[in-house]
Amino acid sequence: MGEIPDSHPRKPSLLARARLTEAAAEGLLAESAMIAHGRGEAFDYLLGEMTSDSALAAIHESAARLLAAERPVISLNGNTTVLAGKDAIRAAAILGCPVEVNIYYRTSERMSKLISTLTEMRDEVSSEPAPDAWTGSQWPDAVMAVEILGADADGRIAGLEGPRSQCSSRGIEAADAVLVPLEDGDRCEALIALGKQVLVVDLNPLSRTARMANVTIVDEVSRAMKKLCKALLDNPSPTQWDNDATLRDALDIMAEASNRI
């Protein structure tokens, strides 16, 4: 897709499609991945394809809760790995926490492909410039220390049935705070019922996931994860958080989209 000029107003969206198409051909994604992405795109169009102030506040709140957690973990599905895997690794390196591949339709082939994709991404991130406040030599060590969990599904999410209940005992099962971009409603509900802090990224402010999470970042996952890395470096503290207000704000922005005509 090198032929899309920089001036194209919807270049990031087209590049995301190209990346997902390629990843699907490589067998990294479930068949429904494109449908989920298309649903997200529609909401993003209504949001003007940018991070709103309320989404940015939710990003800061999520950063604060991850920093305050004793055992945070970042859960990654196929779409998130493809669209924002490198920033997820960066965030995990800043937090000193693992990432865990956890997919809705679990097959050992897709699990191992996603884990090797993330392993390559981790190598790349380790040789890229350190974020502000990190010395050049600390950074590659912190990045390479990020564990990529998921291959060993030796844990369970209580309250779920079958393969969807599988997780890593040292990752999601043990975690007190889970960042789960693009999570399914059922699993979000189960994690909340276990008393974990559940921080989600979901462009649909009306999805069950969005309404159930402790903090919902209504933003596109690659934009959100990039900003999350920045927010983590600001060392924010958790606040009283009105999640319904952030969902209403996203819906207000979408409702006002008609003013753009």
Closest approach of Cβ 208 to Mg ion, in Å?
Answer: 7
The conformation of residue 150, written as its DSSP 8-state character, comes to: -
Residue number with CB closer to Mg ion (147 or 184): 184
Rg of the chain on CA atoms, in Å? 17
Alpha helices in the chain (DSSP H): 11-25, 33-46, 53-68, 78-95, 108-126, 138-144, 185-193, 208-212, 221-233, 243-255
Residue number with CB closer to ligand ATP (174 or 193): 193
74 binds, among Mg ion, ligand ATP, none (CB under 5 to 8 A by kind): none
The rounded distance, in Å, linking the Cα atoms of 112 and 109 is 5
Closest approach of Cβ 212 to Mg ion, in Å?
Answer: 11
Which of 140, 205, 209 has its CA nearest to residue 179? 209
Helix/strand/coil for 19: helix
Backbone angles phi, psi at 131, to 5 degrees: -70, 165
Which positions lie near ligand ATP, rule CB under 6 A? 36-37, 39-40, 43, 79, 83, 182, 184-185, 201-204, 207-209, 220-221
Closest approach of Cβ 179 to Mg ion, in Å?
Answer: 18
Residue number with CB closer to ligand ATP (126 or 220): 220
117 binds, among Mg ion, ligand ATP, none (CB under 5 to 8 A by kind): none
Which of 28, 170, 43 has its CA nearest to residue 100? 170
Sequence-distant (≥ 6) Cβ neighbours of residue 37 within 8 angstroms: 16, 17, 20, 79
Position 176 contacts Mg ion (CB under 5 A): no
Closest approach of Cβ 232 to Mg ion, in Å?
Answer: 28
The rounded distance, in Å, linking the Cα atoms of 180 and 80 is 9
Closest approach of Cβ 43 to ligand ATP, in Å?
Answer: 5
By residue count, the chain amounts to 261
The rounded distance, in Å, linking the Cα atoms of 245 and 241 is 9
216 binds, among Mg ion, ligand ATP, none (CB under 5 to 8 A by kind): none
**Cβ neighbours of 230 (radius 10 Å):** 18
Closest approach of Cβ 235 to ligand ATP, in Å?
Answer: 25
Q: Of the candidates 184, 238, 241, 243, which one interacts with Mg ion according to CB under 5 A?
A: 184
Position 105 contacts Mg ion (CB under 5 A): no
209 binds, among ligand ATP, Mg ion, none (CB under 5 to 8 A by kind): ligand ATP
Position 41 contacts Mg ion (CB under 5 A): no
64 binds, among ligand ATP, Mg ion, none (CB under 5 to 8 A by kind): none
Residue number with CB closer to ligand ATP (100 or 183): 183
Residues that bind Mg ion (CB under 5 A): 184-185
